[in-house]
Structure 1
Amino acid sequence: MNKIKQLALTAALWGLSIAAQAADVSELQQLWAQIQYELPANQQSQAFSVLADQARQLTEANPDSAAAHIWQGIILSSWAGAEGGLGALGKVKEARAELEQALTLEPEALQGSAYTSLGALYYQVPGWPIGFGDDEKAAELLQKALTLNPDGIDSNYFWADYLINQKRYAEARTALLKAQAASPRPGRELADKGRQQEIRELLKTL
């Protein structure tokens, strides 16, 4: 059985019990990391589509869970990135709505991850008239994320990526080194390994 079929089967079996469980996003986190960092690029869009369905089921079963909305937003964003093109715009708009909902429910959930993910969308998505991209809004959101999680790997990584986008290279290097020194996250070993590789690649460009 190839990797994408294994992921789909795991997600499907997990989905059978979603309605009966609390909003535990750990399985979404693990499956996301496998798709993001282990699957070939040409298989990621299909795998993220399967995972997005499971995330939606979890959110529908737990509508008041900020964590569930955050992870639905992250998965939709990743799916959009894997798919690319104008067809991805609808997915990033859905992702924005999920992350905004998380902020209305619990802004501090998952150490401010909604701010981090939403800020990333605002600097990565094209601006008007194509999309809703806004560099000033991105900076505001990413700074809020850093206030909540000043030493986090993701909060510092995305702030650094934003700074590179703004050609503020010295500041970006400082943020990347801080991300590189972040403490390991229990249960997120694969995600941390993949993010550290991305950090090293960005440092090389500086």
Structure 2
Amino acid sequence: MKKFAACLLLGALSQCVWAMDPADQQRLTDIQQSWAHIQYELPAEQRTAAFEKLAAQTDSFTRQRDSVAEAWIWSGIVTSSWAGAQGGLGALSKVKDAKADLEKALTLDPKALQGSAYTSLGALYDRVPGWPIGFGDSDKAEQLLKLALQMNPNGIDTLYFWGDHLYRQKRYSEAKAALQKALQAAPRPGRESADTGRRREIQALLVDVDKKLS
């Protein structure tokens, strides 16, 4: 009620950004841990159905807390992961939904989760096909990923996606430096599975980078 009253006093209820309470934080933690389990521990053939189920949970979260940027960020992450697991042109509608979720998060709080909306949106622009099939745009990806780096210059995800972008741009020496820095990122409490899986992805990409440099 106090947060509601504060919004009324500001005269901008429709624009009010709600802070997460402990129950919201627990829901977010559960979503993060479920995502890591699906992404890094389930067999590939089981991921599509599992992400579909998790997407229903994140959709419920955003409907109940539609002014919480963190909920929209994770709705975008889960939906884009679902699209990635499904693959093919049929996944493009999900990718567009993920883009909309991440853009919504940026309108609410660009700094939420240390700029994670910029990171995830930048990755989408990097990986989605360009016009006329999709909205992919490497220049837009670089712009967004640089904003993410300004907010979280030492984060494992930020540096991984920046390194991946540099690799895609054939800037191999820069990519290697970013990925090596990513491996030195501080552990995230409660995100152990995600950190382990991400490090495996970084190490695999470093192998590809080294091949290009040799």
Q: TM over 0.5: same fold?
A: yes
Q: Structure 1, residues 5-35: CA drift from partner, whole Å, max 9, x if none? A: xxxxxxxxxxxxxxx9435411000000000
Match of 2:121 in 1: 118
Match of 2:33 in 1: 30
Match of 1:65 in 2: 68
**Greater C-alpha Rg:** 2
- Count of aligned pairs between the two proteins: 187
Q: What TM-score do the two structures reach when normalised by structure 1?
A: 0.89
Q: What TM-score do the two structures reach when normalised by structure 2?
A: 0.86
Match of 2:188 in 1: 185
Match of 2:59 in 1: 56
**Partner secondary structure for residue 25 of structure 1:** helix
Q: Structure 1, residues 36-71: CA drift from partner, whole Å, max 9, x if none? A: 000011110000000000000011010000000000
Match of 1:109 in 2: 112
Q: Does 1:200 align with 2:200?
A: no
AA of the residue aligned to 1:37: Y
Aligned CA-pair RMSD: 1.1
Q: Does 1:166 align with 2:169?
A: yes
**Partner secondary structure for residue 111 of structure 1:** helix
AA of the residue aligned to 2:200: Q
Q: Does 1:136 align with 2:139?
A: yes
Q: Does 1:81 align with 2:90?
A: no
- After the TM superposition, list the runs of 4 or more consecutive aligned residues in structure 1 that deviate by more than 4 angstroms: none
Specify every segment of 5 or more residues in structure 1 that has no aligned partner in the other structure, as ranges. Answer: 1-19
Specify every segment of 5 or more residues in structure 2 that has no aligned partner in the other structure, as ranges. Answer: 1-21, 210-214
